[in-house]
Structure 1
Amino acid sequence: MATLTHADLKQFTGAGQWFRHSLMRSMVYTEGVQYLAETGGAYWLVDKVATLQLEPKVKAEDFQSWTLKVAQDRTAVLTCDDGNGNVVHSETIDWTDFPLDEVELWVEGNVILLPSEH
């Protein structure tokens, strides 16, 4: 697996190519998110964000900011807020090998994207 860095993710601006989520067919994601999933071994994160759209409280938000924060013991916390700091979902991940200490994804409507791709 290649090394994933924050600088790699910042390269992605705008959305040139879209990928349809395999489980949540109404959801699409950008090439930056595809790169994150492939290079960072984080398809599970994209799946989590996409499938949590089934939760009424999450789905009610037209804009969502998802943050994964990884602790040194490899546990993590995944949080979704409405962009104004109002948390609509939060959960602990017991273990992850995700290579970054933190990453943010946005959901706008039915699109998952990196903030730099907005």
Structure 2
Amino acid sequence: MTKLTPADLAHFTGAGEWYRHGLNRRMLYTDGVQYLAEKASAYWLLDKIACLQLEPKIRAEEFQVWRLNVMDDRSARPVCDDGNDNGAVLYSEDIDFTDFPLDQITIWVEDDVILLPSEH
């Protein structure tokens, strides 16, 4: 896995090419998300976000904010909220170990598209 930094993702502004998710064919994702998944070996995170769209509580939200926080011991916690000021949590999970290279990442889901905030 090559080193990935937040600066590597910052240059993704607007979507050039779209990708269809293999498990949830309704979901599309952007160049920036593809780059993140490839460089961070994080297709598992993309799969989690796309597959959890089948949950009625999550599916009901047209806009979602997904955050992955990686702790010092390499455990992680993905959290999805509704993106409002009070951020009602729709989903969270504890992951015992990850090799995700960043301390944190924020990904948005809007109208069946998974994207980086800079691509909005």
Q: TM-score, normalised by structure 1?
A: 0.98
| Aligned twin of 1:90 | 92
Note the residue ranges of structure 1 that are not aligned, 5 or more in a row. Answer: none
Amino acid at match of 2:106: E
The percent identity for this pair of structures is 65
What's the Cα RMSD here?
Answer: 0.5
Q: Partners of 2:73 and 2:111 in 1: how far apart?
A: 34
Aligned residues between the structures:
118
Q: Partners of 1:24 and 1:4 in 2: how far apart?
A: 26
Q: Partners of 1:18 and 1:112 in 2: how far apart?
A: 10
3-state DSSP class of the match of 1:88? strand
Shift of 1:41: 0.7
Note the residue ranges of structure 2 that are not aligned, 5 or more in a row. Answer: none
Q: TM-score, normalised by structure 2?
A: 0.97
Amino acid at match of 2:51: T
Shift of 1:9: 0.7
Q: Partners of 1:16 and 1:109 in 2: how far apart?
A: 17
| Aligned twin of 1:113 | 115
| Aligned twin of 2:32 | 32
Q: Partners of 2:4 and 2:11 in 1: how far apart?
A: 12
| Aligned twin of 1:75 | 75
Q: Partners of 1:87 and 1:61 in 2: how far apart?
A: 11
3-state DSSP class of the match of 2:72? coil
